[in-house]
Structure 1
Amino acid sequence: MNESPVPGNDPYSQAPASARWPSYGGQAHAAVQPWSPPAHPAQYTTPAISMPLVSPGGRLAAVLLDVVLVVVTLWIGWFAWSMVTWSQGQSPGKKLLGFVVVDAATGEPFDWPRMALRELGIKGLLGTVLSMCTLGVYFWVDALMILGAGTRTLHDRMATSVVRHV
């Protein structure tokens, strides 16, 4: 029962490259490489901004700090402090933690009008209306987008902003 294999019928032998990879148009194709994910970008940075962006945990801490300040100061103290810090591109919580809201394209901190538009117009009015119309879905989508690329929420994308360290 000891048969010798017939040449060319051995499935374990290596065939020449021309037999393994078909040639189309006279050109041989290279072996297909397995897919590999792209390299992870630098820790939360963008090309226009040299300093690293704030992590999702840092952004959450700033929001929670703002909420605590709103409750403790009965909203009035937080709002008065916001009128001052918005000129530097910060909310009171971001000011205490050392974060600043900057333009995503240039890296320049927001001035008072752009910060007021972002906070009152986009996050406040538009965010509230969209959350009411979608039964809270907008709020959760906006909040969970912080986990995506560049740690940017929907309101950051609408205002063309990112949050970085000072």
Structure 2
Amino acid sequence: MKLPQGYLPESSNSNLVCKLQKSIYGLKQASRQWFNAFSKVVLQYGFHQSQSDHSLFVHGSDDNMIVLLVYVDDIILAGKNVEHLQDVQAFLHKHFKLKDLGPLKYFLGFEIARNSSGISLSQRKYALNLLEDTDTLASKPADTPITASHKLSLHDGELLQDP
């Protein structure tokens, strides 16, 4: 690490070092430090951290339940009570710089759609991107190499010499 511009050490022979007061974005431990700070704030609000998934936090119960899920630096906030959601969002905004992206549409390869019957998840876009990345988007379906009605038996046929 280089000393800040304009800083002159007391002697040219000293072996001064810089002490890092907080983590810097981009370092290996930066995301861990951010998650620790975020967790403290969320727990302070009254959320409970899930034991099976440490990035999942739950607050309240029944109609007042709010679920908060963290993935790297993305946060999903879900619940039935809109006012309660806005309160949590305002609380988080006091402690962190947030950008509200509106209703969830895509997350980790999932496409999320809402309608009157509920919420549906689809990985159509993810699958299409995967086919496009592997240059197999224009591939045509092929028959299986064995007849679909073929019956396999433990006692019929020849045994493999070197299974």
- TM-score normalised by L of structure 1: 0.24
Higher strand proportion (structure 1 or 2): 2
Higher relative contact order (CA 8 A, sep 6+): 1
